[in-house]
Amino acid sequence: MREALGDDMLIFAGKMHAAGSRAEAGEKIVSKEDIRAFAEAGADVILLPAPGTVPGVSFEFVHGMVSYIHELGKLSLTAIGTSQEGASPAGTDFISLMVSNKTGQSIWGLIFAANCVVLVVFGAMFGWEAAAYSIIFQFISTKAIEMFYHRYDRVTLQIVTKRPEQILDAYNEVHKHGSSVMEVMGGRSRRRYWLINTVVSSYEIDDVMQLIREKDGGAVVNVFRTENFFGNFYRAPID
């Protein structure tokens, strides 16, 4: 084909899913050796699975492979081949998920916005009535799920304790959030205490409270909602 058409064509080669092969699951789906073999065979564009579309294929993995492809002087392309175990069948979900993991913003607004873009295109092509009903349905369903899903809510914990070292050691071992400690005095007892301030995701409260009770059963904890947070806030990525 190359001899017949010369430079008037591009050859694409690569893999976008494992087709159920256990030996090629996750990051084993494609290696640098595979990429070099495709390039040496004459491929102009190397195809990779898009981040999040195949279990184990993370943004960092794809970024490394794309950099290697460029080092070989070839173009790269990420694609969605199939919806596999652990991947979303909807299309816009895992794109929103990737953006959410990078920005720390709620995924539901991103999903709604992405679906609205698709529905607007659909409305322009096939009619606005059906598209309008679909947008209303998307809004209601997204808001309903968001009411019960609190992963992106943050709360501030103020912990008054006599055992700051024990609590901090246990807390830092399990959680990756920062904290600050200051010495305070009890207003009635005039005794010395320590005040630990930290911000966590709302779904982590139960785990943190159990940890505190194990280390200091007499600790006093004040929990209040954090409207916003500026700075680096660790949020465990969603696989």
Residue 133: predicted pLDDT: 83
In this structure, what token pair is assigned to residue 183? 């010495």
| Residue 235: predicted pLDDT | 64
- Residue 54 · residue 17 · CB < 8 Å: yes
Q: What is the pLDDT of residue 177?
A: 86
Local structure of 161: helix, strand or coil: strand
What are the pLDDT digits (tens) for 120-169? 887 887 778 878 888 888 788 777 766 766 666 788 999 999 999 999 99
- Angstrom CA distances, 16 to 26, 85, 218, stand at 11, 14, 55
What are the residue ranges in the chain where pLDDT is below 50?
A: 83-89
Closest CA to 153 of 211, 212, 204: 204
DSSP string, 108-137: HHHHHHHHHHHHHHHHHHH-HHHHHHHHHH
